[in-house]
Structure 1
Amino acid sequence: MQLDSMDYNLLAEQLSSSDDHRVLTRLSPVIADPPEGDQDLRKAIFVDTETTGLDPSLDEIIEIGMVPFIYNAKSGEIVGTLPAFNALREPGCAITPAITEITGITPEMVSGKSIDPNDVREFMSGASLVVAHNSKFDRPFLEIFCPAFSLAPWACSLEDVPWREAGLSGGQLQSLALQSGFFYDAHRAQTDCHAGIELMRRTRLRDGTHSFLSLLTKGRTPHFRIWAISSPFSLKDILKARGYRFNYEEDGRPRAWYVDKPASEVQTEIDYLHKEIYQTDASPIVVVKIEPGDRFTNRV
């Protein structure tokens, strides 16, 4: 028996009404149709990059995806998306089989292709915010490729949304999407952007607020970078598991583990370092204020 799309939708509704079944639907981006004259509406851009590796000083971008979306600055409601930008580029270094396995991008796909940074800058103009799912990774790459990204305020759908308060666990985008009831073809830039937007569009926290409102609130708030100077090498895995990152570069910043925290969490983190890491109050901890526009950058 052949079923049409309406039959499938009815079956999905019936299965979803059962406590013994969950139904996943393929991601279908919601196109923005904002009401005219709404002064609270803003445009943001969700970005994602595919690269040849993890180090922005050595590796290169091979794909950039950007999806603009409209949101309400007061409520955090996401209205929908606008036409996207997606392009491939041939890097000056090799695309290894491991990267192809992760991204699906082969050397043949990018051969002879390039991305004009001016086109990227023009596309992102007018956006009040840039969002990525793991902005600590994407922002350094994009700032090198297109300096306009260094002037834009950034937020992160991985760090700035308390997904547990939305009833979800973990942080991987694909896993969060599945828990939210949809699936998509992961690890391509534009598709990942649409998935990140849809995830925030359909989820709310336990108090009923839109999850994107949490991101907006954190994105407007100054943070503080806590440098755990000369922390014991034997405890590096503990710091890494707690969310710390290590600065390897000779760039004027300490060669040390660091983490970014809002003002309300700084003292708690310092107390933790004193007690669990250094085991003394005389600890070489350095705290640096980070303005909202400088979050997730390697320049601070």
Structure 2
Amino acid sequence: MKTSSAQADLFDDAPGYRETPRPALRKRPAATPQQAGWDDEEAAQRLERSGRFRILRKLAPRTVIPRAESAFPNLAVLVDMETTGLNHAKDEIIEIGAVAFTYDDDGAIGDVVGVFSGLRQPFEPIPAEITRLTGITDEMVAGLEIDLSALDALVEPADLIIAHNAAFDRPFCEKLSPTFAAKAWACSVKEISWADLGFEGNKLGYLVGQSGLFHEGHRATDDCHALLEVLARPVGDDGAPPFAALLRCSQLSRVRIYAENAPFDMKDHLKSRGYRWSDGSDGKPRAWWIEIDEDLREEEFRYLRTEIYCWEDAEPLTLHLTALDRYRA
């Protein structure tokens, strides 16, 4: 039997023979899309026309121009913020962003005329979950304060303040600066029927994606730019921008009705109709309440009088609300 040292290599051409290595071929660098005459928008359109692809385009913020150069008469400011928590009474703002834009009376969006972005160091360390969501760290905000004079200068001339969940943002904003308190507010979550416009949800990520865009989310100013594009793009059967619907809704008067002293066994009826419970801890009456359009007031009174109180002379506590009042703490 042969030892292994005497055996020929089965992968050799012949025992003891080795081929002289050939010099490696030099590869030419691949042509870039620009060198190859690539038109990315044309390629995206071709893919979309096939019906087998949907393309998301990276959102590019609009160019900022001086207010005097915009032909649109009205001014709105989009605001967004990142905070240390959800409770405006104890949690703090760590970032606020704002984008000011012009518009006309029909709800057509004009030009971006101002942008603000500011970070702020809170009194307590930023919770780890907030850093995970936003990317904002204690090191990023160390020693920083929001320039309120610059923010107020942007907000003061505005006819309307818009937030994507104004019930959250308005109390924080009013705590930060009294300039926000005297302004009319609109909520792009509650005051636009996104489902009727063909959207599958009202979270900003859904709206941006279904508008054919993507952006770097969870930073305040970036989210403001993203919401502006969603509000400006024509949708629905009439091709109107969602901002037009938001503007109309913001101009309506609404009423908040409190079903004080409603029988306890009626709570499920009230809840199924859309009433929410207030425990009185925020200064509001301790009662079930609902907020509706002004023209539905008498219908709601009939419901309460016949189904809840069973007393035709009942006069539930009613607060009349405009955009100046809505979404306050």
Instruction: Output one character per residue of 1:162-210: Cα deviation in whole Å (capped at 9) or x when no partner.
Output: 2123211211011111111101111110011011110011133323332
Please identify, of 173-182 and 117-126, the stretch whose mean Cα deviation from structure 2 is larger. 117-126
Tell me the distance in 1 between the aligned counterparts of 2:279 and 2:68.
Answer: 46
Q: How does 1:10-21 map to 2 (within 5 A)?
A: 10-21=42-53
Tell me the distance in 2 between the aligned counterparts of 1:164 and 1:119.
Answer: 37
Tell whether 2:138 aligns with 1:107: yes
**Cα deviation, residue 104, structure 1:** 1.7
Tell whether 2:149 aligns with 1:93: no
Tell me the distance in 2 between the aligned counterparts of 1:233 and 1:65.
Answer: 46
Please identify, of 255-264 and 14-23, the stretch whose mean Cα deviation from structure 2 is larger. 255-264
1:287–1:261: structure 2 CA closer, same or farther, 3 Å change rule? same
Which of 1 and 2 has higher RCO (CA within 8 Å, sep 6+)? 1
The 8 Å contact of residues 70 and 110 in structure 2, kept in 1 or not, is answered as no
**Cα deviation, residue 93, structure 1:** 2.8
Q: How does 1:120-135 map to 2 (within 5 A)?
A: 120-135=151-166
Tell whether 2:117 aligns with 1:68: no
Tell me the distance in 1 between the aligned counterparts of 2:109 and 2:265.
Answer: 44
**Cα deviation, residue 280, structure 1:** 5.1
Please identify, of 115-124 and 40-49, the stretch whose mean Cα deviation from structure 2 is larger. 115-124
What letter is aligned with 1:17? R
**Cα deviation, residue 116, structure 1:** 3.5
**Cα deviation, residue 36, structure 1:** 6.0
1:41–1:270: structure 2 CA closer, same or farther, 3 Å change rule? same
Tell whether 2:228 aligns with 1:206: no
Corresponding pairs, count: 293
The 8 Å contact of residues 62 and 90 in structure 1, kept in 2 or not, is answered as yes
The 8 Å contact of residues 227 and 259 in structure 1, kept in 2 or not, is answered as yes
Q: How does 1:157-168 map to 2 (within 5 A)?
A: 157-168=188-199
Residue in structure 1 matched with residue 59 of structure 2 by the alignment: 27
1:51–1:36: structure 2 CA closer, same or farther, 3 Å change rule? closer
The 8 Å contact of residues 192 and 245 in structure 2, kept in 1 or not, is answered as yes
Instruction: Output one character per residue of 1:26-77: Cα deviation in whole Å (capped at 9) or x when no partner.
Output: 1112336699684x5312110001111111111111111000112122x211
TM-score, normalised to structure 2, is 0.78
Structure with greater helix share of residues: 1
Tell me the distance in 1 between the aligned counterparts of 2:43 and 2:290.
Answer: 48
Tell me the distance in 1 between the aligned counterparts of 2:323 and 2:102.
Answer: 21
Q: How does 1:1-300 map to 2 (within 5 A)?
A: 2-4=32-34, 6-31=38-63, 38=71, 41-73=73-105, 75-229=106-260, 232=264, 239=271, 242=274, 244=276, 246=278, 248-251=280-283, 253-267=284-298, 281-282=310-311, 285-298=316-329
**Cα deviation, residue 3, structure 1:** 1.6
The 8 Å contact of residues 165 and 206 in structure 1, kept in 2 or not, is answered as no
SS in 2 for 1:293: coil
**Cα deviation, residue 268, structure 1:** 5.3
The 8 Å contact of residues 65 and 189 in structure 1, kept in 2 or not, is answered as yes
The 8 Å contact of residues 225 and 260 in structure 1, kept in 2 or not, is answered as yes
In our comparison, the structure showing a higher alpha carbon Rg is: 2
Tell me the distance in 2 between the aligned counterparts of 1:289 and 1:179.
Answer: 36
The 8 Å contact of residues 44 and 55 in structure 2, kept in 1 or not, is answered as yes
